[in-house]
Amino acid sequence: MHSYDIRARRYLFYFLLSFTILSPPVFTIAQTPALHFEGKYVYADSILGSATYQYLMEAGDTVKHGEFKFESTEEHFEESHIVEGISIAGNYSNNRKDGAWTYTHQKLKLTGIAKLKGLGVNYDANGTEFLIKASFRDGKIHGTYELVRRKVRQSNPADTLFYARLQYADGTSTGTFLGFTPNLKVNGQFDEDGFPHGDWLLVHGSGSEEQMHEMRRYDHGFFSKHFYISDEELVEIKHAGFDTVVTSGLGLLTHLRATPTYFRALDYTPLVIEHAFDDADEKAIPLDTVQTRVVQGNLFLERVFVEPAMHLGKDVWKGIGGSESLLPVKLKVREFAFSPDEFSLNQKNEKLLIETRSLIHTVIDNPAMEVSRFMNPEVGFYYGVLGIYQQNLEKISPVVRFLADTAAEYIDHDAILFHNVHQIRYPEAVEYQYQDEPQARHYAFPPELKATDTRVLHKHLNIVYTDVNRILKILEKAVQNYEIQGELARKERNLIEVRDSVIRLFMDVDSSDDYNEFHRYLRDSLQYFMEYSFAEYAKHSSSERVANIDAVQDCYTYLLTIYETIANYHEKLDKLDQEYTRSVWNPYTFTHMEERVKSRLYDVFENLLLPFVWKDIRENISCDTLPGKLQQLDALLVRMTDLRWKDTKDMERKLRRARKDIPTSLEILGLRQQIKW
Amino acid sequence: MCIAVIKKLHFSYLFLCLVSTAGFFHPAIGQSERPDQSLTQPTTTATWNGLYGKFRLGNRLYWDAQFHYRRVSSDDTPLVGRMGQIYNRHALNYQVNDRLAVALGGVLRLNFTPDPGNPAFEDMVLEPRVWHEYLFAMPFNIGMAYHRIRIEHRWSRSNDVGADWIFRNRWRYKFYMNIPLNNRKLIPGTFMFTPDVEIIMQSGKPVIDSPLEDFRVNPSIGYIHSPRLKYSVGMMYTTGQTLGAGYMYTSRWVLRTNIYLSLDFRKKQSRIPGVRLFD
């Protein structure tokens, strides 16, 4: 029995072996030979990576057929170990995309320590991932289409930042739409022709944030009504310049593919809510909040409608071919086209505006003018005139730019101008300073303007442009006189640059990350000091200015460094705060609780001495006093650091008796010598 | 099973669970002199003033010291009519980790006469116990939830003159939460609401038809004064079977005030050192 069993197994083995050896040629003969490519590949004409794919050769041409995979990785090791990669994978059928496809872009920063895995090294990574999952049929998007942007934390997908899911049938969006971000959820649907249709619900807000239910009603691609829902009541959001579209008849609608211009046009329309609430305090959402959330909704829909297949400025599917372009979503809109004359005037108005503002800037930013206006009353006067022109041009600017934007043709621009009417008025006289004395002088400005008409705007801008040119000619002589002073002029140009840099920094014009409340606390005093000290300097004669300029320059440069110094104080105070904070385990609640140690001492520091020192700095800003004042601040911080680990019971008892008296408190802390009262 | 249900914080399920647990012991209630339906004793009131201390002795070791001053209602004075008990509970408490603590120790309770001046009762009898406890903590988004299993081995006798000592075991399970009301965290300055339910089962030779000794519902409001000091006040309702007459249920309202102290008895040097700044 046993030997029979072994023999039978042996026969079976030989049978299977011979079947295995003989069978591949049989199957190979039965199907068309598929070739395999593996090697370097350029995606979208610019991104080098590697690809593996199967293909057929037909009439000397490569026909992709079967699986395709492209991967590209770029390492930015100079930039803190950042790795950026693109991968695309899917299936071709006779050179046409078919079946499921994915596009992935990852930007990851390596974190943690290296881990050996086999003969490789693994790192955890944090960053972001952008993903498109698509389904194709014969080169057209067909089926579910998903866009995802999410965070990657410790090499795992974490928070989803953006999600959109559309349905396509042969390249046309149809069926339901679902999308969300952390603060917004969107539900909607498309009709069979690919137009958004019916009520699109946008739910704004998450967590503890108050929610707003926004509803956009599309009539086969035409954005016809807009509401928000308050206690099941529809509150209509009217768009000035847009609701007039509804009433102007639906037979004249233009079909278009969604563009940024369309959404820009929506952003131009001012919102109007005229709803009569039963209890306005309870239900009404402030218009600013509605406006902000509508803009957020626009941004979300723009991302989906305009660029469903775009990433980093590229059509992700076009880069490897085999499919038709995925076009933006179709919409309908009423066009309010400008006549050729109006269009031409609008473009001219924008050009006039830019040129006039540029001319004014050449004067305002000119250090020669900046100095001369304190010395020469004529320059001071015209400098004031140009300042008024500059302010009014700022006010006109949005209107001019709106009319010059093609987005204005998607909405009733006349209605918007009527709503956004900007009345420009000019004063009778110009006020300016000379020799520390306020002066006033009459000037014949153009008549007041209501910016509601292209032609009126054009006439006004022409008058201003001509007048500014005339003023510039008058000022040229003063500038020439100044420029010939050569070296002094060059130094003063630098001086003004440094002065303006200091003011910009302390006013946080560039929204710097290290700007803190101490900068904010000092900014008005500092700006006053800068302007006052410059005016004081500028009113001297040339010879006196030559003697003084280096000292003023040093002062302004020192104030630049002070910005950095103050930026660091925040960190120092945070550290001190941590140092005076103790974490204590509470065995009843099973939690760590933080508490202030030496609370009386810290309270005196935080609420009495620190404000006193900062106030002293703010009220005495000058280049002579500032170094000493900052030393006082440092002395206070160092003393507090020292006291943390010293026995301060006696000191705290005395502080209690001192009843928040500053000199006594300084005395108790041993700072009477360092900090002057 | 019960704990699993309770972890989901379904209080209604908890109630069902307790009822079914009591039902498990139900056959024991069947005695010969059992009335047709259960009886409830007149509701009494009491005041329990507690001082709880957990004193840190080592990195993970605490001395758990609890003291209760309990008064009970008398015929003419609710809540505080006469002395009830004085209660001392001590243990060594070991903090296994941030989510579990275990304790082992002893209790000495002083039970005062139910009828002062009546010579049929001893003025005071002692009741010693050995107890051990397993306390599990579970954080949730803003607060904490706790499961406490406490087992006590008690020797007691009634205040009747010449009464015998009896031995019983107590099986206690308590679920409670600390929910901050004016903060997102349990930090000093926080008022908190503490829902609290506890079931106390008992076993032992004298326990014939009264396994459910007590069921307590004790919601309270607490305040965290500092990491070392917490207060709470609440009104507790309790009900349970009477020993020797399982058909007879007690019913009590107890005003509870508690002070929780937590001090660090370690040497200063062994506490976390600081780091110097601005060098």
Amino acid at A448: E
Contact check, Cβ <8 Å, B228/A590: no
Q: Is residue A5 included in any domain, yes or no?
A: yes
Chain B residues 49-88 within an 8 A CB cutoff of chain A: 52, 54, 56, 62
Helices (H), A285-365: 287-306, 340-364
For residue A46, what pLDDT band results from cuts at 50, 70 and 90? Answer: confident
Q: Does B264 touch chain A (CB under 8 A)?
A: yes
Contact check, Cβ <8 Å, B186/A594: no
pLDDT in tens, B70-79: 999 998 999 9
In terms of domains, do A627 and A641 share one? yes
Helices (H) and strands (E) counted in chain A, each on its own, are: 18, 29
**Cβ burial B235-264 (10 Å sphere, 16+ → b, else e):** ebebbbbebebbbbbbebebbbebebebeb
In terms of domains, do A347 and A480 share one? yes
In terms of domains, do A344 and A479 share one? yes
pLDDT of residue A30: 41
CA distance A595 to chain B (A): 7
pLDDT of residue A7: 61
Phi, psi of A58 (to 5 degrees): -130, 120
Contacts of B230 in chain A (CB under 8 A): 586, 588-589
pLDDT in tens, B110-148: 999 999 999 999 999 999 999 999 999 999 988 999 999
pLDDT of residue B21: 45
Tokens of B232: 């709470």
In terms of domains, do A303 and A211 share one? yes
Q: Does B259 touch chain A (CB under 8 A)?
A: no
In terms of domains, do A348 and A310 share one? no
Q: Does B258 touch chain A (CB under 8 A)?
A: no
What structural domains does chain B harbor? 47-267 (2.40.160)
Q: Does B185 touch chain A (CB under 8 A)?
A: yes
Q: Is residue A586 included in any domain, yes or no?
A: yes
* Residue A247 pLDDT > 70: no
Nearest CA in chain A to B94: A587
In terms of domains, do A318 and A213 share one? yes
Cα within 13 Å of Cα(A217), Cβ side = 14
Q: Does A189 touch chain B (CB under 8 A)?
A: no
pLDDT in tens, B70-111: 999 998 999 999 999 999 999 999 999 999 999 999 999 999
Q: Does A588 touch chain B (CB under 8 A)?
A: yes
Q: Is residue A140 included in any domain, yes or no?
A: no
DSSP A93: E
* Structural domains of chain A, count: 4
Q: Is residue A622 included in any domain, yes or no?
A: yes
d(CA A106, CA B104): 55
In terms of domains, do A388 and A258 share one? no
Which of A435, A468, A484 corresponds to the end of one domain?
Answer: A484
* Residue B10 pLDDT > 50: no
Nearest CA in chain A to B192: A589
d(CA A491, CA A548): 11
User: Does the predicted TM-score (pTM) go above 0.90?
Assistant: no
CA distance A521 to chain B (A): 24
Contacts of B93 in chain A (CB under 8 A): 587
In terms of domains, do A283 and A396 share one? no
* Range B215-225 average pLDDT: 97
Which of A484, A509, A526 corresponds to the end of one domain?
Answer: A484
d(CA B111, CA B124): 5
Q: Is residue A621 included in any domain, yes or no?
A: yes
In terms of domains, do A303 and A376 share one? no
pLDDT in tens, A562-601: 898 888 888 888 889 988 988 889 999 999 988 888 989 9
Contacts of B101 in chain A (CB under 8 A): 587, 590
Question: Which ipTM did the prediction report?
Answer: 0.85
d(CA B102, CA B134): 5
Q: Is residue A75 included in any domain, yes or no?
A: no
Contacts of A584 in chain B (CB under 8 A): 227-228, 264
Q: Return the SS3 of A14.
A: helix
In terms of domains, do A472 and A360 share one? yes
Could you list the residue range(s) of the whole structural domain that residue A648 is in? 580-668
**Cβ B129 vs Cβ B107: under 8 Å:** yes
**Cβ B3 vs Cβ B21: under 8 Å:** no
Contacts of B278 in chain A (CB under 8 A): 572, 575, 637-638, 641
**Cβ B169 vs Cβ B204: under 8 Å:** yes
CA distance A584 to chain B (A): 6
Contact check, Cβ <8 Å, B137/A641: no
Interface test with B, best of A569, A571, A575, A586 (most B CBs within 10 A): A586
Q: Is residue A111 included in any domain, yes or no?
A: no
Of A118 and B272, the one with more pLDDT: A118
Among candidates A575, A583, A595 on the partner chain, residue whose Cβ is nearest the Cβ of B277: A575
* Residue A118 pLDDT > 80: no
**Cβ burial A292-303 (10 Å sphere, 16+ → b, else e):** ebbebbbebbbb
Contacts of B138 in chain A (CB under 8 A): none
Among candidates A589, A590, A645 on the partner chain, residue whose Cβ is nearest the Cβ of B274: A645
Contacts of B227 in chain A (CB under 8 A): 584-586, 593-595
Contacts of A593 in chain B (CB under 8 A): 186-188, 224, 226-227
Q: Return the SS3 of A234.
A: strand
Which of A335, A355, A378 corresponds to the end of one domain?
Answer: A335
pLDDT of residue A267: 83
In terms of domains, do A291 and A395 share one? no
For residue A359, what pLDDT band results from cuts at 50, 70 and 90? Answer: confident
Of A285 and A478, the one with more pLDDT: A285
In terms of domains, do A224 and A299 share one? yes
Q: Is residue A592 included in any domain, yes or no?
A: yes
* A-to-B residue pairs, Cβ atoms closer than 8 angstroms: 67
Contacts of B180 in chain A (CB under 8 A): none
For residue A608, what pLDDT band results from cuts at 50, 70 and 90? Answer: very high
